[in-house]
Amino acid sequence: MTAWRSLRRWLLLLLAAGLSLQLFFVARIALALVVDPESTSFQRSEAWRLASSEAGLRWRQEWRDYDQISDHLKRAVIASEDGDFVNHGGVEWEAIERAWTRNAQAQARAEARAAQRAATAQARGRPPKIVGGSTITQQLAKNLLLSGERTLLRKGQELMLTVTLELLLDKRRILEIYLNNVEWGEGVFGAEAAAQHYFRKSAAQLTPLEAARLAVMLPRPKHFERLPRSAYLSNRAQTIVARMGDAELP
């Protein structure tokens, strides 16, 4: 009986800790209704990494209100990252299902190649590319409050936070916070810092093509920062420019 009481006590403590964490997350999101977030979980981890590196901490970020950010950039990001942003409830289940299918197929191919290499004593290879199905709200939930680990538990927490964001904040505020905190290069965060870093102008002055180039960089900002003349970046930006007219703003 003593062992059972001890186990029950630990389970209750674990449950209380989990509930406290969820309440903390809800409070942070509710606070974002009226207070601009000073930093995100992802930014803090990046700041620590940069501060620990030989180059030292280099940081650029300046908050800009929604109306101070070019509509071209808003349309470009929606067209590139989340075309149905204003209509969905934060999660696009069909996109997640497609991502799971593609990831499973990629894993199967990787395992088949590994088995073939092992048979020929060449067991070297690259891990399969993981494809995501995240909306803008999901990306904000992940970067604002969570770590960068990829586990089913963290994904479940991300979905819960996504729903909370959609319930407590409107689409305009979600997009405003996202654009002010998303990474656009090594120590470059937010639309204003990105516009100044790449084009020497404010986020309000971005042209459609400049906005499209920034939007295309989002999945791999550090990569494209090193390859500004990438053919893919230029070609994809032209595609996004063509789609921007259909992007609906909140």
Which CATH number do you get for residue 219? 1.10.3810.10
Is residue 148 situated within a structural domain?
A: no
Is residue 47 situated within a structural domain?
A: yes
Domain span holding position 188: 39-88+170-250
In this predicted structure, the answer to whether residue 7 has a pLDDT above a threshold of 80 is no
Is residue 224 situated within a structural domain?
A: yes
Is residue 147 situated within a structural domain?
A: no
In this predicted structure, the answer to whether residue 192 has a pLDDT above a threshold of 50 is yes
> Residue 120: its pLDDT value, please?
45
Task: Tell me the mean pLDDT in the region 168-190.
Answer: 97
Instruction: DSSP letter for 25, please.
Output: H
> Residue 119: its pLDDT value, please?
44
Task: Tell me the mean pLDDT in the region 171-194.
Answer: 97
Strand partners, 185: 188
In this predicted structure, the answer to whether residue 213 has a pLDDT above a threshold of 70 is yes
- Asked if 51 and 196 touch (Cβ cutoff 8 Å), the reply is no
Is residue 110 situated within a structural domain?
A: no
> Residue 93: its pLDDT value, please?
54
Is residue 33 situated within a structural domain?
A: no
> Residue 18: its pLDDT value, please?
77
> Residue 218: its pLDDT value, please?
95
Round the average pLDDT of the chain to a whole number and report it: 84
Task: Tell me the mean pLDDT in the region 8-14.
Answer: 80
In this predicted structure, the answer to whether residue 116 has a pLDDT above a threshold of 70 is no
What domain count does the chain have? Answer: 1
> Residue 125: its pLDDT value, please?
40
> Residue 14: its pLDDT value, please?
81
What CA–CA distances, in Å, run from 76 to 177, 245, 246? 16, 9, 10
Is residue 201 situated within a structural domain?
A: yes
Is residue 228 situated within a structural domain?
A: yes
pLDDT band, residue 99 (cuts 50/70/90): very low
CA atoms within 13 A on the CB side of 64: 26
Strand partners, 188: 60, 185
pLDDT band, residue 248 (cuts 50/70/90): very high
Q: Residue 187 and residue 43: Cα distance in Å, rounded?
A: 9
Task: Tell me the mean pLDDT in the region 103-126.
Answer: 46
Task: Tell me the mean pLDDT in the region 140-165.
Answer: 85
